[in-house]
Structure formats: structure tokens, C-alpha cells
Amino acid sequence: MEYETPLFFHVMQYADRADRDVVDMVSGNPDWEPPEALREGLRDYASLEPDRFQYGPSEGLLELREEIAARRGVDAEQVIVTNGAGEANYLAMARALERDSGDEILLTDPVYPYYPGKTTMLGGTQRFVATDETGQLDPADVRDAASEETAAIVVNSPNNPTGAVYPAETMEALVEIAEAYDAILVSDEVYDHYDLSGEFASALESDSAHRIVTNAFSKSMAITGFRVGYAIFPPELVENAKSRHMLVNVATTRPPQYAVLRALRETPPEYYEENRALLRERVDTFTDALDAAGAEYTTPRGSFYVMARFEDYPGTLENVERLIDEAGVAGMPGEAFGDSRSAWLRFALVTPRVEEAAERLATYFG
């Protein structure tokens, strides 16, 4: 079996090994501070009794699951704490495929490349539905692509890489399509704290046995390395997913769960608001420079990413490497996200050097 490894790590390695200073805009790693309560949680954990260093419950620490359940308006029994959104999406897609109700997974184009990789690994087939230029998904196009073969529809809003935020009507329509074809809508909402549009709608707003919501604290608390995420399953689907989680990982790491619980309880709303404000500022800085460079681009309504297109500079891996060497800015090739964006590059606004990167691009392309 062959399955594609996402390109992120390759590009990051290339940038690391470059002979010059490079502004890293490759991956979605926040560069801002995690919540102070998270650091305190970890520090306190280090002095706990030895029994706290052992396995917690496989599905996650009960208090953390209850805290998540209360915030999301679901029952704690529906929540599995996972090794980041990565495992949450893996469990959700596996759960959809193992129901003997089709083996096709509907994905968007452009797409976050882990989804097609997971699909292939799980033995499913991929079918892509194009989004429009702003990244919006038309439910009518999804309905046209859906069939009895459809096991799942996987979406991500706020979206990586387009920055689109799907309105409530889109989410509701997607749940209805999943219901009509005995499929599962997998809604990856990991950027929910970075909705800059005010229009984010969770798939949880539609009560249904045909949707699984995945999320993580990786982005919201700036801790992508901690690997604490979660999936919310309908009661009908949760038991097998718990078994798979147990059989793959036994349990999610405990010290990070403890620290996240502390941070969830003690972090004021201002923490999240300040990070959104910082992101807004960076969007303005970066898109101003793209204007100066004469580039086409999408202004993100959520998430961390700007897609940009420079004349006669397609979004190939080769051009990304050339940009690293010649301009000192590292982005992601648009082709990594699907054919429709092969002319584009993706830049992640998670560096304090956004202004510098913007100037470098304006100089290089201007």
C-alpha cells in the first residue's frame, strides 16, 4: 500500500537547511504565547503523586470531557479526547468507512492534504467537489457528487487553505445531504477560535446521527505540539470509535490533558480576542504588501492563511524552493492542496515577521 505523505515537513526541512535567513510561513504553528494557566498546569503536574502519571481513562480525563461537553452542549459520553485533531479526523473517517455504507469520501478542492492521505490509508476512495474562488462550498455541488457510494463528506471551516468560513445554511445543507445518503458529515472545526467574520457555524447546531465534529486545542491555545484534540460523535457511533482509539493509542497523553483542562477553566476570553486581533493586523499588513507586489490573493475570513498568485510563478514545489532561496520566504505550494490552486501559494500568518516577509515578496515580485 502506498499513501501520500503531506508535503509540510519536506518544505520545512528545505527552509531549515537554506543558506540564508528565511521567514517561515509554511505550517500553521501559532507563534504567540499559550495561556499562562496552561504553563501553570504543566508545572503543577510535575509535582503530582505517581498515580497521576499512569493511564487515565482511554476516552480522556473525565473532567476534561465534561468541560468540553458543557461548552459544546453535548453529553460527555459522546466526547473522545484524541491525539490532536489529526487522530480525531482519523477516527471519524474510519468510523464512516467501516459502516458498509459506501467507500467514497467527498472532499473539497482545494483540500487540506491530510484528508486525502487518510482516505487512501483507510482504503477509501476520493471524490473532489470544487469550491468557488473565495473557497465557499455550494451544497448543490455536494449533492450532485453524492451517491449511495458516499461514506463521508469531510469539510473544514474556517478553512485551511482558503480562509473561507461556511455560513450556517451551508452546514445545515451538508448535514441533510449526509442524512439523505446514509453518509457522515465530518466537520473539522479546529480554527473555530480564529473566525474573523463572525459567521462561523458549527455542525453541532444541527442535531443529527450523521455528523461528527472534530476539534483540538492545538490552534486555540497555541500548542500544536501537545496533541490534545477531541471528536464529538453521535451516541450511535461513539462506541466503535472508542474501541479504535483504545486499540491504536490506548489513551491520549495525560500531562497535556491536565494542562489543557486548567487552561480551559482559567483563561479569560481576552486571551482569544487578542490573538484574533493580532491575526487581523497581520492579514492587513500582508495583503497590503501583496497589493504592492501586484499579486492576486484571498483575504481570509478565518484561519491563518492567505492564498496568493503571482504572475508567471505557479505554485509548484520547485517555485516554493526557489522563493525560499531567492526571496527568503517559505510558503506552501498551492498544488499540494489540489489542482484548482496549482497557480497559487499559501502563506501562514503565524510569524512575528509577517511585515518583513511581505516586504521581501513585494521587492521580489514588485
Positions that interact with its own copies (CB under 8 A): 1-6, 9, 27, 29-34, 39-40, 42-43, 45-47, 50-58, 83-84, 86-87, 90, 98, 114, 117-118, 121, 222-227, 240, 242-244, 246-256
CB 305 within 8 A of CB 345: no
Tell me how far apart the alpha carbons of residues 209 and 345 are, in angstroms, rounded to a whole number: 38
The residue to which cell 480554527 is assigned: 191
Helix (H) or strand (E) holding 316: none
User: What's the full length of the chain, in residues?
Assistant: 366
Q: Which is nearer to its own copies, 254 or 360 (CB)?
A: 254
Q: b/e string for 206-235 if b means 16 or more Cβ within 10 A? A: bebebbbbbbbbbbbbbbbebbbbbbbbbe
Q: Output the smallest distance, CB 312 to its own copies, in A.
A: 33
Give the separation between CA 34 and CA 55, rounded to whole angstroms: 25
- Measured from the CB atom, is 1 or 312 closer to its own copies? 1
Compute the least distance from the CB of residue 147 to its own copies, in Å. 22
Cβ at position 96, least distance to its own copies in Å? 12
CB of 282 to its own copies, least distance (A): 16
- Nearer CB in complex with its own copies: 48/140: 48
- Between 42 and 142, whose beta carbon lies closer to its own copies? 42
Please state the closest distance from residue 143 (CB atom) to its own copies, in A.
Answer: 28
∠ Cα 362 365 366 (to 5°): 60
Query: Which residue's CB is nearer to its own copies, number 31 or number 67?
Result: 31
Distance separating alpha carbons of residues 295 and 293, to the nearest angstrom: 5
Q: Nearest distance from residue 76's CB to its own copies, in Å?
A: 15
Q: Which is nearer to its own copies, 223 or 289 (CB)?
A: 223
Rounded least distance, CB 340 to its own copies, Å: 23
| Closest to its own copies by CB, 244 or 276 | 244
328 DSSP assignment? S
Q: Which ranges constitute the DSSP H helices of the chain?
A: 8-17, 36-45, 62-72, 84-97, 114-121, 139-145, 168-180, 238-249, 254-266, 269-292, 317-327, 354-365
Measured over the CA atoms of residue 227, residue 229, residue 235 and residue 237, the dihedral's sign is negative
